Chain A
Amino acid sequence: MDIVKCTKVTKTYRQDTVVVRALSGASLSIQEGGFVAIAGPSGSGKTTLLNIIGGLDYADSGRVVVDGNVLTDMSQSALAHLRLHKVGFVFQAYNLIPVLSALENVEFVMLLQGVPPAERRERAKAILDDVGLGGMYDRRPAELSGGQQQRVAVARSIVSNPSIVLADEPTANLDSKTGASLLEIMQEMNEKKGVTFIFSTHDKMVMDYARRLIYLRDGRIVEDKIRNG
């Protein structure tokens, strides 16, 4: 089953007189349970594509369907609802709410979802244990290393049981060793929980983890290959 289906998605940015075509007719389908990398040089439209799939931004034209929801005709508040229940995000950096501890950061999404406190706590602890942050429940983001922060972000993105997790260059701010271990954790979560991961990167090492590699250039998909893991 296709969990994400994009058809001829375009997006144009205008800044004063300069017009930039960030996406020019990108079409792709991603199956449930996938572990997909979107690669491409800087400015090729990776972030734009992920934002549109995650309901953070609107496409100018084309059609985007996520888990049966047609994003292209949803309101802002409907998109917020969709993000809360269907999409997990991991960004490059500053993912966490600085005034909340690791545990509270993970709990916060479930709080928004209305999960009762006791269950919230239990699930948050379990997922932090899963990503290897067992003893760090009460640390604030400022007291965690970059790699640990990204792991909290991964834990937070999957704790709400989303249909897809979108990670925009999650390892860009990490050294290669820490980056690799984050990818391993993502891989493990993908296999263990069956959550679909779509992540962007221009790092060759990161691409090697993907089971499918979609290559973007100038807002177009120029290559799409299944890799044998």
Chain B
Amino acid sequence: MSIDLKMAWRNIWRHPRRAILTMAAIAFATVLLVFMLSWQFGSYDTMINAAVKVHTGHLQVQAAGYHEQQNMHLVVPDPVSVSRLLDDIPDVAAHTARATAFSLVSSHERTYGVAVRGIDPTKEAQVTTVGQVIRQGKYLSDDDAAQALVGGLLAKNLRVGVGDELVLLGQGRDGSIAATVVQVAGIFSYGQDELDRNVIYIPLPYFQEVYSMQGAVHEVVVLGTSLEAVPRIKRSVSAELKTIDKKNKLVVLDWMELMPGLIQSIQMDLISGFIMYLILIIVVAFSILNTFLMVIFERTREFGVFMALGTTPGRLTRLLLLESTTLTLLGTAMGIVAGSLVTWYFQVHGIVISGTSEMLQQYGLPERMYPQLSTLSIAVGAGLVLAITLAAALYPALKVRRLRPVEAMRAV
């Protein structure tokens, strides 16, 4: 070991309690950052995967403009060829077609405006969770016709139960009046008011008949094998679509385009997280700053001796930086080890969350979330702490440059 390093090491331990407290502060910040970043990165994956399964899927093929206008005349005219095309694309886990019409629904007592959705019962259940949220009655089957699934809040508003009849009144694709009577087969509840209050599902073939869809649908919903596969699938689908969609009327939208609010919530969450981390690290940085300002103060006379011996201020600065770097690295290393252990524990056992922000909850967060330990979260967490604490140690180290030998010698 060089004399410089020896001095740095021994100087650190001149005040063992102070050294340990400072290192503990650095380690604590690192633990928190590694854990929180792992938590954030982990929860985003879980969140997105949960959100896409509620309704939107990873991707949708729609007519251009449909997503913005929700105009029922903007259709995917030939869903069969689209679905044949999707069958051949790797990474597509499942897909289904849907159609939507805004209509009036009436019970004996009341009338409301709702979104009536035609779904393919079997395929829909492979893409979304609708089959799992039926609270009363039963899910639709492929040979059902005038059967409907009604949201829990809507059923309450309409004062209907399973087996009751509802009148649907709307406009068909061709401009004709679409009217029918359906029977409530089941009542679903997502726990999201938006869906539970405004949506009715009926079988897609029956929808197409009632609303004169002529075989058309509004969206073909795709679920990929993983989130990472989405861009790849999007490229393939876009390319393949050109072969069947000569007039270029169809578009492929991914989950970020379908749910811009979700990506915004994630960004907000990241930003507010980083602000919090920054505050935390700055507090730690001040404790480093304090430690090293004290060092300068206590050792002024000693620096005078160094200078009398002919040590240059630059070398003194380097000695101090070696000392602060060693201290900081030790603290960060301890933090990485402890932080990884803590994160790993929760990665295995999960954390029950209650009272997450409502903004995130509306995307169907699961009950238990798992942090995801990764080299990224370790590197970013430890890197931030290191960078800021080292920057804080720079000021005291540079301060010695202003010291004059005689002044330093006079200090005791």
Contact = CB atoms under 8 A, between A and B. Distances in A.
B127 to A, nearest CB: 68
B247 interface: no
Given A56-B409, A57-B406, A104 B309 contact: no
A85 interface: yes
A169 interface: no
B311 interface: yes
A215 interface: no
B7 A109 contact: no
A95 interface: yes
Contacts of A99: 6-7, 10-11, 14
A17 interface: no
Contacts of B7: 97, 99-100
A112 B405 CA distance: 17
A156 B309 CA distance: 9
Given A97-B7, A108-B3, A54 B308 contact: yes
Interface in B1-25: 3, 6-7, 10-11, 14
A80 B6 contact: no
Contact of B305 (A84, A95, A107): A95
B307 interface: yes
A100 B11 CA distance: 10
Interface string A67-87: 000000000010011111101
A133 interface: no
Contacts of B11: 99
Contact of A100 (B3, B404, B412): B3
Given A51-B406, A100-B7, A80 B311 contact: yes
Given A77-B312, A94-B412, A99-B11, A107 B3 contact: yes
Contacts of A35: none
Interface in A96-151: 96-100, 104, 107-109, 111-112
Of the listed residues B10, B305, B310, B311, the one surrounded by the most CB atoms of chain A closer than 10 A to its CB is B310
Dominant secondary structure of chain B at its interface with chain A: helix
B181 to A, nearest CB: 92
Contacts of A77: 312
A85 B312 CA distance: 13
B6 A104 contact: yes
Interface string B386-412: 000000000000000000111001001
Contacts of B310: 80-85, 87, 109, 112
B6 A97 contact: no
B322 to A, nearest CB: 13
B309 A57 contact: no
Nearest to B13: A99
A99 B406 CA distance: 22
Contact of A57 (B3, B6, B305, B405): B405
10 contacts: A56-B308, A57-B405, A85-B310, A95-B305, A97-B305, A98-B14, A99-B10, A100-B10, A104-B3, A156-B309
Interface of B: 3, 6-7, 10-11, 14, 301-302, 305-313, 315, 404-406, 409, 412
